[in-house]
Every structure is written in C-alpha cells, then in structure tokens.
Amino acid sequence: MPDSIPRLGIGTWQNTDPEACANAVATALDAGYRHVDTAQAYHNEEHVGEGLARADVDIEDVFVATKLHPRTTGLSHDDVIEGAQESCDRLGVDQIDLLYVHWPTGDYEPAETLPAYDELVERGLVDRVGLSNFTPELLDEAKSHLDAPITAHQVEMHPLLQQRELREYAREDDHWLVAYSPLARGEVFDVPEVEAVAEKHGVSEAQVSLAWLLTKENVAAIPKATSEAHVRDNYAALNLDLDPEDVERIDAIDREERLVEIDGAPWL
C-alpha cells in the first residue's frame, strides 16, 4: 500500500458560499473527517481555511489537498510556484499536504510543470504530489518528468464509472486513486443495484456507494456535502460492512456514465 492518506475526505466543489463552505468543513472535521479537498478553481480556499480554523482539531492532523488549474492560475513554472504559496496563504497552512495538477490541459507542459511541483516539495511548501484527470499514457509521461512519487490520482469514480484500468494502474504504481463525484453527483440514488443494497442494510444509497468504493484497494473518496445530515451520513459509510454479494452486485454494473467533462479533457 502507498503511504497512507485518510480514505474519506470532504469535497467542496461548488460550495462557494463563505458561511456554508466554512461550516461544512468545520462540521466534517468535528464529525471525524481528516481530509479536505479543494482547488484554486473552486474559488473557496479562504472559506475552507476558515472552516479549518474554526474546527476543534489540530490543523497538523488534517490532510489538506488542493489543485492548481491550467486556466484559473496557469501551470507554467512560475505560476505553479506562486500559485502554491497563494493557496497556502488562503488556506492558512504552512504546507499543502497534497497538491494536484487539476487537469492536463491548457498550458500543462509536463517538462515545465512537473519539475516546478518537485521544487515545491524540495522547498517544503508541498508534502506530496497528485495528478487529476490523467490517462494511463499521460501518467507514464508524467512519471518520466517527476522525481517525487505520484501519491494520488484523482478521477471521477462511482458505481456508474468504475475505472477498472486506472485502478489497476494505481495498484501497480502504488498510488491512491481518489474517487471524485463518488455519489455520481446524486445519480447513485437512482441506480437499482445500489438502491437494493441500501434497502437490505437500511442505509442510504450514498453510504452504499462510498462503502463500495472503500472496498477497493488503493481507493479513497471525497464526497461533497453541505448539510450536517449529509456530512454525517457519508461519514457513517466507514462503518458499513457490505457483504461479498453486495460488492459483486455493484461490481457487475456495466455502465460508463461520466458526469464531469471539460473542453480539452484528455479522453475526448
């Protein structure tokens, strides 16, 4: 297994209301989450930082992940170096635990962008490097330009997009596959196989989707939730033990439904 990261994190995309975002992060930390996922492109790092400050936890114990974006901030060498410092300032941390390349598009140039990430690790501003929305070919290319190991590859993953190839790649490369949109942005509530397993255990479809993801070796998940009820419901997935036949039933779903797409996505 790669170096550990907390396997359940709180996602924050589209949580841009200052109070709602700070409150969701603080509520999650008070409920037990120790992994927070944000990005410069979400325009909420300050609010996430406010939540981190407000929660009754030592910030050293929280795994804070953010991302630099090819369009929002740019991925040239100087943009990366300056962008990481700006993220630290907004988040109120001395070091970012995991800094991702958000998308391998726009001005992402592996030979320029990735050595800048290595430089941030050497300077101590970043602890670990992550990539997001890459293909196996782009991961191979990235590895040839990075000294630091890839700690995590963050991609869309849920029962309707099971990412079998990238899971295998992650196992072989010994990195985490971090599942974004792990509730399929709400679609899991209407997947018959997930509904049946939820009914059997008397839990929500959200919990089933997350518990299923967490049965996979090397997979972490970062559901976004705003209300306390959702934050706590998702956290309870850590205590849900699915039976082998439940896992097989969801494994057998043969749908490829991608919900997050941008112009220039590498799989287009």
Return residues touching ligand NAP (CB under 6 A): 11-13, 37, 102, 132-133, 154, 180-186, 204, 206, 222-227, 230, 233-234, 260
The residues with which 35 forms a beta bridge, in sequence order, are: 63
Shorter beta-carbon distance to ligand NAP: residue 14 or 78: 14
Shorter beta-carbon distance to ligand NAP: residue 147 or 186: 186
Cβ contacts of 232 within 8 Å, gap of 6 or more: 31
Least Å from the CB of residue 161 to ligand NAP:
11
CA dist 8 and 222 (Å) reads 6
Shorter beta-carbon distance to ligand NAP: residue 135 or 226: 226
3-state secondary structure the chain: CCCCCCCECEECCCCCCHHHHHHHHHHHHHHCCCEEECCHHHCCHHHHHHHHHHCCCCHHHCEEEEEECCCCCCCCHHHHHHHHHHHHHHHCCCCEEEEEECCCCCCCCHHHHHHHHHHHHHHCCEEEEEEECCCHHHHHHHHCCCCCCEEEEEEECECCECCHHHHHHHHHHCCEEEEECCCHHHHHHHCHHHHHHHHHHCCCHHHHHHHHHHCCCCEEECCECCCHHHHHHHHHHHHCCCCHHHHHHHHCCCCCCCCCCCCCCCCC
Least Å from the CB of residue 181 to ligand NAP:
4
> Residues 42, 100, 117, 235: which is the catalytic one?
42
Token duo for residue 175: 């990195």
Residue nearest to ligand NAP (CB): 11
The reply to whether 180 belongs to the active site is no
Least Å from the CB of residue 232 to ligand NAP:
8
Least Å from the CB of residue 37 to ligand NAP:
4
Shorter beta-carbon distance to ligand NAP: residue 181 or 218: 181
Least Å from the CB of residue 190 to ligand NAP:
12
Q: What positions carry a catalytic annotation? A: 42
